[in-house]
Amino acid sequence: MSRYGQLPPNVSLETSEFHWKTSDEDLKALQNLVRYSRLGPKTYENSQPDGKYGATYEWMKEAKAYWENGFDWRAVEDRLQSFPNFKVQVVDDDGSSHGIHFLALFSQKEEAIPLMCIHGWPGADPIAGSILEFLGLLSLLQDKYSTPDQLPYHIVVPSLPGFAFSDPPPLDRDWTLNDSARLMHKLMVGLGFGGGYAVQGGDIGSYAARMMASSYDACKVNMCVITCPDQSTHGSLSIEDHERKGLERAVDFGRFGTAYAVQQSTKPATVGFTLSASPLAMLAWIGEKFRDWTDTTPSLDEILASVTLYWLTNSFPTGIYSYRQEIADKPGQAKTQDDLENVFRKPAKGYMFHEDPELYCRKPMGFSWFPYELGPVPKSWISTTGELVWFRYHDKRGQGGHFAALEQPELLLEDVEDFLRQVWV
C-alpha cells in the first residue's frame, strides 16, 4: 500500500484494501470481440471530418486497430493500482449494504481538510466520468506534497454506485442520484470526517455535490455546476460578452448534442443491452463524447481506458440511472438562448434545479468556468443558486472543457486549493 494509504484514526467503516486485475482470459475475449466485430460501412454521415453527425469512419477504424494491437490495459491497471484503493460496505438508512470503491490520498496532518472529488459521466472511473478522471490530479498532489506529512488534504475519490468497482444500484427500487449522494455522505462520515468536509464534482458529480451540501451539515463547502434560473423570479440577470459565447455553446448542445441523453433517460434498458453486446458500439457511443465535449481531444489511450473499464466491469447499464431523473420530464429542446430554460430548468421532481428551495446552497460555494464546457453559464446565474464566494474564469481556448479534471488537472487543482484557502476556517 502507498504511503498515502494509512487510514485516518477515526474510521468507523470496515475498510479493506482493493486490488483488481483483469484475467488474461477476459482480456483475450475482449481483444477477439474487437477484432471480429464488424465495422459499419462508410456513409455520408460518418464521412464528415468534423464529426457533426457522430463518430467518423476514419476515427473508428483507427481506434479499432489500436484497440486490437496497441492499447495496453495492463498499464492502466498499474497506474490505477499505484494509488491507494479501498472498498467499504456503506449501510444505508433502510439497513441495506452497498459496496463502494474509492481511491484516496490520506494525510497525516491533524488539520488536513477532507475533500471528496466526484466523477461525472461518461468518464473513465477516475479517467473521465468515473475515477480515472482524477488520476492526473492525484499525481499532481503526490508530486507537490511528497509525503503524507506535507499533504494538506484527505482526498477521497469514489466510484458512484453503479460505476466501475462500486456495487450496482439495487433491483427492487428506483435508485436516484439523491440516493447516491446520501451514500457518499455516509462514506465521508464513516471515514471519520463527520466534523466537516468539502466536495468537488463535475457533470453528475456536481449535482451530487450540491445535494450533499444542501442536505448535510457535515458537507461544509462545495464546487459545482449550475443550470438556468427562472428569470421571472430573479429578474433580468447580467450576461458578459464571453458568457454569451458560452450560452451559444449551450444552445448548440441542446439542439445537436442531447440525443444520447434522451435515449439514456427514456429507454436506458435498451441502450444498456445494445452497448453491452458490442465493444465497438460502446466505443462509438462513449468515444464520441470525449471527442465532442473536450477542448483538446484526449489521446486514444485515454479514451480506450475509459471504454475498456466500462466493458470489463460491465457497468455501462448500471451507471446511467441519473439520466431518467435529469432528462425524462424536460420539455422541448432549445433553439435560442430564450429557450434555454426548457433544456436546463425543469428536470424531474427532486433533481437539482434552481427553484427547489431544498437545494439552495447556504454554504460557501465555488465555481470554475471552463470555456469549452457543454453549457458554461453566466456568473449571474450561478449566484442565484447559493452562497457564491469564489469564482474563476478560464476563458481562453485550450483551458478546458467538460472533463476539466482530465483535460486541465493543473488548473483545476489550483482552483480547488485557492477556494479552500479562502473558505476553510
Catalytic residues: 203, 323, 402
Q: What is the DSSP string of 108-143?
A: --TTPEEEEEE--SSS-SBSSSSTBTTHHHHHHHHH
Rg (CA), the chain: 21
Cis peptide, bond prior to residue 158, ω within 30 of zero: no
- What H or E segment, with its residue span, contains residue 226? none
* Matching residue, cell 463524447: 289
Copy the grid coordinates of residue 245: 459565447
Collapsed DSSP state (helix, strand, coil) of residue 91:
strand
Distance from C-alpha of 260 to C-alpha of 303, rounded to nearest angstrom: 18
Q: 260: which residues sit within 8 A by CB, 6+ positions away?
A: 285, 289
Q: 338: which residues sit within 8 A by CB, 6+ positions away?
A: none
What is the C-alpha end-to-end distance of the chain, expressed in Å? 32
20-23 CB contacts, 8 Å cutoff, 24+ apart:
20/77, 20/81, 20/85, 20/165, 21/77, 22/73, 22/77, 22/312
What residue type is 343 in one-letter code?
Answer: V
Copy the grid coordinates of residue 71: 492499447
Label the pairing between strands 197-201 and 153-158. Answer: unpaired
